[in-house]
Structure 1
């Protein structure tokens, strides 16, 4: 495959149908049963932190971040899903989306990001495994895949408790 000319754009409401089809192709119907999906259910993503990747007019990748509340009221962001069309995987698209989204979150003064994912992949973006028992998700998750990243130094200090989706006023 020749080199790709990749364009990253902020997600718009018009992108939703194409993103839904991308999620369906990448994750299948089982995606609705995942713990991370339960946190996002009924919680709109933070569109100012969500991006799409296109090659020409074809949407080949998407990253979404949604608001969460941890413990007694610590705000955070749930990263995911990050989805790359299977035909375009291993071409740096996921990394480009991660960097753009994390930079946007930092610029908007967000403090803390959590996700469920592959630790070796996400460590290069500053993620580490959540210490056992520190945060509680609303369903089962492999503890080695439950990760966090501080967008501001020290933002994870003293944070503990259950994680739940948060609705943000428009």
Structure 2
């Protein structure tokens, strides 16, 4: 059993260590990280999962972005400690994060990931949504209201065409 709570400043370095453990070296060189530079995550949606002993098992973050002129959330990173994988913890974090985002009236969420895994949470490939290169377009997935939303994904606060 895990307790989910909002990530706090006290969790930051432990969460960063988890991301370092779970992702390849140089993870911060990925194009999705350029969308996060200098932008605060949506703190109400950044969650940690701890076991009854208080040990961090997983974490998820969400960041505001623009797709064309529309608002969206960028999900990620989401990570589960290798010793806790296969227990459904990643799914718990994703479902809870998406539910909270919906409750806060965020109309759409996107991510870069594997469709076979994320489709179980309602994510599907987004046509016409362009992540910064070198992102594989087949890995750009979204959930929520994407009707008529196309364009480049840009940093929150960036204006289309600038």
Counterpart-to-counterpart distance in 2, 1:40 and 1:118? 21
Deviation at 1:28, TM superposition (A): 3.4
The answer to whether the 8 A contact 2:130-2:137 is kept is no
The answer to whether the 8 A contact 2:129-2:140 is kept is no
Q: Which residue of 1 aligns with 2:155?
A: 165
1:84 paired to 2:97: no
Counterpart-to-counterpart distance in 2, 1:13 and 1:83? 18
Deviation at 1:29, TM superposition (A): 2.3
1:156 paired to 2:152: no
Taking only aligned residues, the RMSD between alpha carbons, in angstroms, comes to: 1.1
Q: Which residue of 2 aligns with 1:8?
A: 4
Deviation at 1:128, TM superposition (A): 0.3
Cα deviations across residues 1-48 of structure 1 (Å, max 9, x unaligned)? xxxx21111111211110111011111322012121121122111010
Q: Which residue of 2 aligns with 1:52?
A: 48
Cα deviations across residues 39-89 of structure 1 (Å, max 9, x unaligned)? 112211101011101112111100000000111x20000000001111111
Q: Which residue of 2 aligns with 1:67?
A: 64
Structure 1 runs, 4 residues or longer, greater than 2 Å off: none
Q: Which residue of 2 aligns with 1:98?
A: 94
Counterpart-to-counterpart distance in 1, 2:34 and 2:118? 21
Deviation at 1:163, TM superposition (A): 0.6
The 5 Å alignment of 1:102-113 reads 102-113=98-109
Counterpart-to-counterpart distance in 2, 1:13 and 1:164? 26
Q: Which residue of 2 aligns with 1:142?
A: 136
Structure 2 gap ranges (5+): 158-162
The answer to whether the 8 A contact 2:131-2:140 is kept is no
Q: Secondary structure at the match of 2:90?
A: helix
1:27 paired to 2:17: no
Counterpart-to-counterpart distance in 1, 2:113 and 2:132? 16
